[in-house]
Amino acid sequence: MGWVLTGAVVALLIATLILMARGYRMVAVTSGSMRPTYDVGDGVLIRPGDDEPIRVGDVVIFSAGENMVPTIHRVVGVQDVFERGLHYRTKGDANAEPDPQLLKPDAVQAKAYGVVPYAGHVFGALSSTTGRLVLIGFLLLCVGREIVIIVQVNRRRRRRAAALAAKTLVAEPDQDIPVPAPRADTPSRKPVS
């Protein structure tokens, strides 16, 4: 079980590094406005700085309104606002009405490209120092446990090999021990009569 858990964590870290190298980032979903597409705690893959055009149906992350909190909603319309260019109408999948404000193109930070269920919880926890320390401690504990198991298995193998060698020596039939032949230069004794 330890190997499986360690392998899963390492695979997740490697996949994250590969995605980050390709320009992707992960953001956590913090509200239910995009249910059933995204649930609270899901991780959404985004690619900031992507030059792909935004179309109706795309899910985007943007900052708008007074508090400028990042929001993930779907584009449900594109409108040409007189003398101000294109603006986007957005709406959460779970919301009954579209968002009240039109979205300027420069407010869009990125498009969503995929979802990793529950990964938002993990990445949210890892964004804190405590979460990172817990992860490092967990990985060290898993690796240490596996090292102990490997050492124990190697000891058992050596004991078994030694026991098998001892059995082999005892179990073999007695062999005649060769007696050296008399040397030619030694005089032979004749029995005295």
Q: Which of 33, 51, 58, 127 is catalytic?
A: 33
Catalytic residue at 31?
A: no
DSSP 89-134: EEE-TT-SS--SS-B-GGGEEEEEEEEETTHHHHHHHHTSHHHHHH
Q: Which of 58, 87, 93, 99 is catalytic?
A: 99
Catalytic residue at 80?
A: no
Catalytic residue at 73?
A: yes
Which residues, other chains included, contact 72 with Cβ-Cβ below 8 Å and sequence gap of 6+? 27, 29, 33, 34, 38, 44, 59, 60, 61, 112
Q: Which of 51, 73, 176, 185 is catalytic?
A: 73
Q: Which residues are catalytic?
A: 33, 73, 99
